[in-house]
Structure 1
């Protein structure tokens, strides 16, 4: 669960004026507000598919890795919020110490700071980037010549809303494949997107082929941010899809939200066979970052008879694996091996 500090924004008018001056000096005039000749619809916003963007700002881990996976990492001018270490191939090309790209790990960079980087496109893997407290709404960004894309599992009910106002979104892997395909079109990387999606589909299909006839354990995926209350990944999240594709059943199948607070008594009541704890958040936080939560669950005498705790089936993964993005297919394969080691 991300808990971020919020900067007090300047008036949007001031930001627009600053952006106008910056863009005029660096990139020419802002583009016309007329409807584009071609585009795709993303969360109700039309994203042009003509000239690919040249300077990309990516927010959140899945947004950053998608840009790299599609072969557009050399266009990154800025990035924010890595949940875990980047995949090795991407990490080798990520040099924030050299400002290639500029990296903001702790809180939303102000919109003025992002505009200073002169992006012509923003990719966000999470809702919070496109709010008044973040970078501004997508419509506001469009008016100053900056396009945008938001992973569709986090489409808000209206432009500018945050994670408390998500629409009834598709949380399947098809949604992830669709986002990567659409981003490939927007970034001028259609072939790369097609190859990536085909590889992901094959990984999932190969995994599922090994799981025919398995007895499906109930799986609870949860975390305890800051050592506080337990929060469970419910059905409004790709985590449920990953659990099911990996040969499990969602222990909280009647919980519609994502990272919903639950009490210890509710975990006892559900009696999950397996508990999965995603580690988060930071560019240096691997699976070991979940260990304190796991230790706490195992040492809680109230949980001693929960099957997952009793049978020592409490596992660490990374938050990046269970957030919609390029890692989801491998997450299915990895979780399947934990749930059904006899099939692998």
Structure 2
């Protein structure tokens, strides 16, 4: 069904075209900032991070960040994906066939946020983001800004900001549960007109999680797990702390967070901090690029193993430093399999061979 806001073609495209002129003129001091409409959607909506998103099947979609791109593809909307940004790792093999950036299907921005003007040019009806950084003034603009140009938006609820336009350090009432991820996929499926696909995806996820929970029933020893990476060229170590989907995955896999006092994702941690935390297991998520599989984390694994300051840390001493991918530990379609894989490493006597 076409979107109700379209008349004489795509309203999103026409509003985006006029908005592009406004944006470009404003950059030269030639026009004031466009006012944002204050009208509520007339039809059914999905409530998403305190924003009511109209349930109107979009014809053109932009997805920001790996988890959003994979969700859109998995929900069968690859033919409507006109723009994508930031793949952290290779796409799942079953999804890669629907992604052709070499043919601009979709247009792909690999390393930096596209400018607001670039996104306006592809005239999406819906912008889906896996992280709130896309919906800031430094990114594409706030969700209200995008609504003013005819674009709806959807954000994974693990990263709801405290107010529209807030970044990753300004999170509000987030939901980092696996049930929350399933709800997000259900809601996104409804927005994309793909309810049956969403139900199939979440059903498989729930079956995997229930199987792992059954196998771990009665486990009393829960290893302390640290998820660490070292983005960029600085060499600093960062931890995936509490209040993040990574901790949810650790706990569902039969572990405990080694850094419960550190809140949030990718917080800087010192070597001394790792020694004090004494993790039994260290997991290193590989990032960032379409060619960065789990083996890309091997250099950091070797660095941790070779650091004499970490020699007494149980994970290093006992050879329990493993790799995964950033995509596994971001909210999305891979989370249930990530739980199963980690459970197999933490409790191989119960979960191996599932």
Partner of 1:165: 170
TM-score (norm 1): 0.90
Q: Give, in angstroms, the shift of residue 33 of structure 1.
A: 5.6
Partner of 2:61: 56
Partner of 2:189: 184
Look up the SS of the partner of 2:153 in the other structure.
strand
- Identify if the C-alpha distance between structure 1 residues 20 and 309 changes in structure 2 by more than 3 Å, giving closer, same or farther: closer
Alignment of 1:80-229 (within 5 A): 80-214=85-219, 215-225=221-231, 226-229=233-236
CA–CA separation in structure 1 for the residues paired with 2:251 and 2:329: 13
32-41 or 214-223: which moved more? 32-41
Partner of 1:251: 258
Superimposed CA distance per residue, residues 16-56 of structure 1 (whole angstroms, 9 cap, x where no aligned partner) = 253799xxxxxxxxx9863212212111111001x200100
> Any conservation in 1 of the 2:20–2:120 contact (CA below 8 Å)?
no
225-234 or 243-252: which moved more? 225-234
Partner of 2:272: 265
CA–CA separation in structure 1 for the residues paired with 2:146 and 2:159: 18
1:240 aligns with 2:274: no
1:16 aligns with 2:19: yes
Superimposed CA distance per residue, residues 259-281 of structure 1 (whole angstroms, 9 cap, x where no aligned partner) = 11111111101111100000000
CA–CA separation in structure 2 for the residues paired with 1:136 and 1:207: 40
Partner of 2:322: 315
CA–CA separation in structure 2 for the residues paired with 1:14 and 1:117: 10
Superimposed CA distance per residue, residues 154-211 of structure 1 (whole angstroms, 9 cap, x where no aligned partner) = 1111111111111131211011011101101111111111111111010011112111
1:46 aligns with 2:85: no
Partner of 2:4: none
1:338 aligns with 2:341: no
CA–CA separation in structure 1 for the residues paired with 2:148 and 2:98: 32
CA RMSD, Structure 1 to Structure 2 (Å): 1.9
Q: Give, in angstroms, the shift of residue 14 of structure 1.
A: 10
CA–CA separation in structure 2 for the residues paired with 1:256 and 1:133: 23
The gaps in structure 1 that reach 5 residues or longer are 1-12, 22-30
CA–CA separation in structure 2 for the residues paired with 1:199 and 1:56: 25
CA–CA separation in structure 2 for the residues paired with 1:101 and 1:47: 23
The gaps in structure 2 that reach 5 residues or longer are 1-15, 25-35
> Any conservation in 1 of the 2:136–2:166 contact (CA below 8 Å)?
yes
Q: Would you say how many aligned residue pairs link Structure 1 and Structure 2?
A: 322
Look up the SS of the partner of 2:52 in the other structure.
strand
Partner of 2:331: 324
Q: Give, in angstroms, the shift of residue 15 of structure 1.
A: 7.8
> Any conservation in 2 of the 1:19–1:115 contact (CA below 8 Å)?
no
186-195 or 277-286: which moved more? 186-195
